[in-house]
Amino acid sequence: RPGRPAAPGRGGRRAQSALAQLTRIVEAQLAAIRGAGTWKGERILTSKQGPHVRVQGSAGGILNFCANNYLGLSSHPEVIQAGLKALEQFGAGLSSVRFICGTQTIHKALEEKIARFHQRDDAILYPSCFDANAGLFEALLSPEDAVLSDELNHASIIDGIRLCRASKYRYRHLDMGDLEAKLQEAQKHRLRLVATDGAFSMDGDIAPLREICQLAQKYQAVVFVDECHATGFLGPSGRGTDELLGVMDQVTIINSTLGKALGGAAGGYTTGPRELIALLRQRARPYLFSNSLPPAVVGCASKALDLLMESDAIAQSMAAKTRQFRSKMEAAGFTISGKEHPICPVMLGDARLASVMAEDMLERGIFVIGFSYPVVPKGRARIRVQISAVHSEEDIDRCVKAFVEVGKRHGAIP
């Protein structure tokens, strides 16, 4: 009859059946995540990023201790102004990949500035460092080659390595004996690439780059370092862990981000030998098939680098506040992983405890996040605290006081 929907045909019924099956599978997985206490909710900010933020559903201002805003440049007035200027002069975006019509003078200038900052030949920009890691290994390594990776490397390094066809070796975290054994085993390959984070984002520990470079020289390997949690603030002038440990001339390839200390917007990059960068422009799929970085992002990152190269005062302020937090938390009875890094993981072990304590901290006006499996290994749950140069000493003390109150309430400390 007119107006009556037709009964679904055989194809429609099959589609509905497949959708129902998919829904059941997904619902079971979601229930398992909730049941394990590892559900990751998203707290919604209603303000700019900074040490003091406003969170939807929470009254008043909140102290933020969970951003990668190490130098406090995400909302720096000069960085914002540089972004506005680039937006006005170069537009909202390019609507193109780089090799078609997506390269502007500001992209080339930023790449040159990054290479100069790291004291390397050249650099190439990506939408994120995840993309930089996704593009590097597949473009560089063949089935004749080998890549040797720290077992706790960032997920983007792991995923990037999965995309390449090289033989894959995983060595125990920071274990130089195991790395040497793997290098000996990999001598049969044409090229050996050792891949490590400079600073590990979940534990706040730093790769032993001196020893890695010594082994690389002994076994004729190339060293790659991801510096996302080091660029801008580790080392005497903020060049990263290779500068901190005095091996800038021995690390061949660096990947890093513009989305943390350098303005916090977006973007990543690879910097290294000129020939390698030229190869990546020809072969790196995330570069070839992703739109260019928006001009405002480029402008912000460029100004952040300018501020960093003008003075190390911001980085020194962050280091002093990191020492303040770590010493006071350890004195209160907490175990803090890592050493002298603004990533300060408060180790708790139990996933539910980390989640509940983080919620109680928010009720006290402190924004921190609990991390648990699969982000970190089972039994290694923690609340990761991140210190910024724009936190005041009073902010640090207030955070420590809240941790002590919450820790005692839940039995995390005596």
Spell out the SS3 assignment of 11-64.
HHHHHHHHHHHHHHHHHHHHHHHHHCCCCCCCCCECCCCCCEECECCCCCCEEE
Q: Which two tokens stand for residue 182?
A: 């793997």
Contact present, 179 and 194 (Cβ < 8 Å): yes
Taking the C-alpha atoms of residue 136 and residue 130, their distance in angstroms, rounded to an integer, is 10
**Of the residues 149, 156, 201, 355, which is catalytic?**
201
Q: Which of 107, 154, 260, 341 is catalytic?
A: 260
Please confirm, yes or no, whether 229 is among the known catalytic residues: yes
Element (H, E) at 256: strand 253-257
Distance between CA 343 and CA 388 in Å, rounded? 10
Q: How far is CA 262 from the centre of its chain?
A: 12
Phi and psi at residue 191, to the nearest 5°:
-130, 140
For residue 303, the number of C-alpha atoms closer than 13 Å in the C-beta half-sphere is 22
- What are the angstrom distances between the C-alpha of 247 and each of 17, 118, 212, 335? 59, 12, 10, 30
Q: Which residues pair with 123 in a beta bridge?
A: 271
Catalytic-role residue among 182, 229, 303, 391: 229
- Angle, CA of 161, 163 and 168, to the nearest 5°: 40
Scan for tokens 């559903």, then name that residue: 57
Q: How far apart are CA 402 and CA 28, in angstroms?
A: 36
Pairing relation of β-strands 268-272 and 343-349? unpaired
- Measured distance CA(51)–CA(66) in Å, rounded: 9
Burial 139-163 (b: 16+ CB within 10 A, else e): bbbeeebbbbbbebbbebbbebbee
Catalytic residues: 201, 229, 260
